[in-house]
Amino acid sequence: MIGIVNYGAGNIFSLTSALSRLGITYGMINSEEEFDQYSHIIIPGVGHAGAAMDKLNKSGLVDKIRSLTKPVLGICVGMQLLTDHSEEGDATLTNIIPLQTKLFDKELGIKIPHMGWNNVEIKNNLLFEGVENQTQFYFVHSYFIEYNPIFGIATADYGLKYSAAVQKENFYGVQFHPEKSGAAGERLLLNFSNLK
């Protein structure tokens, strides 16, 4: 069963709708004790990474999240919260994955935010099992996580190559919204729910 970290920085309706369509049971995590009820954890997030981290700090759940050994998936800003630092609000984040979250540079000749479908280059990883390489996923973001081959399990290109998905041990993150990415996104959520 999936536990969704409910810290007030995620629009979770589309996520819970996707999980329901897939027949995946879920519940909301509001306190440290509730983590034990779930086998898998999702950290959602939309909006401003600095503000989201402030809410997460106020929730008192950060140390518990850092200590988790069960599969964890951060989505969009939830993925960025797993990194060390964000230029958005000059915010120190959880530092679970030692990467930087940076603002896209308008000088690259791109529109910010990056909004819409984009091809994703996939590495061989259980999170993407059954998803074809160069499948399109749906993105909405102005900030990106730098690409690092140690942690990068998928990349996208928007003026530069950046991390579309990352992994460090049991912690996974996706910059795109699987819950808004059709069949491929639903397959990814199903794959996550089956990770050991």
pLDDT of 111 > 90? The answer is: yes
pLDDT at residue 10, as a whole number: 79
Residues 93 and 97: their CA atoms lie apart, in Å, by 10
Q: Are strands 152-157 and 114-122 parallel, antiparallel or unpaired?
A: antiparallel
pLDDT at residue 66, as a whole number: 98
Mean pLDDT for the stretch of residues 134-161: 97
Q: How confident is the model at residue 88 (pLDDT cuts 50, 70, 90)?
A: very high
Specify whether 179 is catalytic: yes
**Catalytically annotated residue among 48, 85, 114, 179:** 179
pTM above 0.95, yes or no: yes
Q: Which fold has domain 2-194?
A: Rossmann fold (3.40.50)
Q: What is the pLDDT of residues 151-193, one digit of tens each?
A: 999 999 999 999 999 999 999 999 999 999 999 999 999 999 9
E-only strand ranges, the chain = 2-5, 26-29, 40-43, 72-75, 85-86, 91-92, 100-103, 114-122, 135-141, 143-145, 152-157, 161-168, 171-174
Specify whether 141 is catalytic: no
Mean pLDDT for the stretch of residues 69-77: 98
Residues 36 and 23: their CA atoms lie apart, in Å, by 21
**Catalytically annotated residue among 48, 76, 88, 141:** 76
Virtual torsion, Cα 61, 62, 67, 70, nearest 10 deg: 70
Q: What is the pLDDT of residues 2-53, one digit of tens each?
A: 999 999 887 799 999 999 999 999 999 999 999 999 999 999 988 899 999 9
pLDDT at residue 102, as a whole number: 98
**Catalytically annotated residue among 48, 85, 141, 177:** 177
pLDDT at residue 14, as a whole number: 93
Instruction: Return the domain boundaries, the chain.
Output: 2-194
Specify whether 177 is catalytic: yes
